[in-house]
Amino acid sequence: MSAVIVDGKAVAAELRAELAERIVEMSAGGEVPPSLAVVLCGDDPASAIYVRNKGRAAERAGVRFELHRPSGESSTAELVDLVRSLDADAGVDGILVQLPLPPQIDAAAVMACISPEKDADGFHPYNFGLLAEGHPGVVAPGTPLGCMELLRRSQFEIRGSRAVVIGRSAIVGRPLALLLTNADATVTICHSRTPDLAGVCREADILVAAIGRPRMVDASYVKPGAFVIDVGTTPRDGVVVGDVDRESVEPVAGWLTPVPGGVGPMTIAMLLRTTVALARARRGLAPE
């Protein structure tokens, strides 16, 4: 029996439609639509594509999208001034600084200028701390949130399951492990120095591959019937390749997110959902 291929594009489209309805309701109540300000500095082609996709998705959902494109020669001080001005702007609900920034810029100094209340990417240490403490409704990075949403919309029972996350980055691995823990899964974080990595992974009901090694996870890593989430996105010969060897894993897994078309579309959809949540909080509206 082959795995169910989880269609992230379809789920993301459902989410955007739901968000569009909420935004219409907010506007009908006299509120201004939520707004997202994105700072894109430099000429990284992948970043430009990501930002363009974010802008299109935002416009379709009814989120006001502001793109700021400072010169790639900008200094840290110039970017800090820009981000501080956006943070002080009452018309901006969420702020996202697209990474990576040019090498001459201190990315940490720029990101520190975003207040937790406008942290659309969920990278602020304060929001990460709330997540670690298990607070409900916290702001978190879009990719981990998208993974959780795919699990829930697939009606997979997270509570009581054994989850293994390969990768410990602050953008995906660590926050996703916390989200799974908060949802009552028993979680193990693995990495390149984990002994018998395949053996540990075979114990997982939920296996997340977020290590950035193309097709590293094959059938020997997968428990029959497991929900396998592929977060990897490595360009290779003109196509994007995941961390999971789909041909090997699909006959073994119960569910599998494809690359492309799995987690990727969910990242943007969850960014928009976070922006709407930040806007509601800033307006004193009840969370949804």
What is the pLDDT, as a whole number, of residue 137? 82
Which of the two residues, 163 and 28, has the higher pLDDT score?
163
Ranges assigned E (strand) in 121-266: 162-166, 186-190, 206-209, 227-230, 234-236, 239-241, 255-256
Residue range 182-237, pLDDT digits in tens: 999 999 999 989 999 999 999 999 999 999 999 999 999 999 999 999 999 998 88
pTM of the full structure: 0.94
Q: What is the mean pLDDT of the chain?
A: 95
User: How sure is the predictor about 27, in pLDDT bands with cuts at 50, 70 and 90?
Assistant: confident
Give CA separation, 147 vs 17, 27, 47, 140, 269, in Å. 19, 30, 21, 12, 11
3-state secondary structure of 116: helix
Arithmetic mean of pLDDT, 153-158: 98
Looking at 40-49, 126-135, 150-159, which range is the least confident one? 40-49
What is the pLDDT, as a whole number, of residue 138? 83
In this prediction, what percent of the chain has a pLDDT beyond 90? 90
User: How sure is the predictor about 86, in pLDDT bands with cuts at 50, 70 and 90?
Assistant: very high
Catalytic residues: 54, 98, 121
Residue range 246-281, pLDDT digits in tens: 999 999 999 999 999 999 999 999 999 999 999 999
Ranges assigned E (strand) in the chain: 4-5, 35-39, 64-68, 94-97, 162-166, 186-190, 206-209, 227-230, 234-236, 239-241, 255-256
What is the pLDDT, as a whole number, of residue 192? 87
Give CA separation, 3 vs 138, 153, 243, in Å. 32, 16, 17
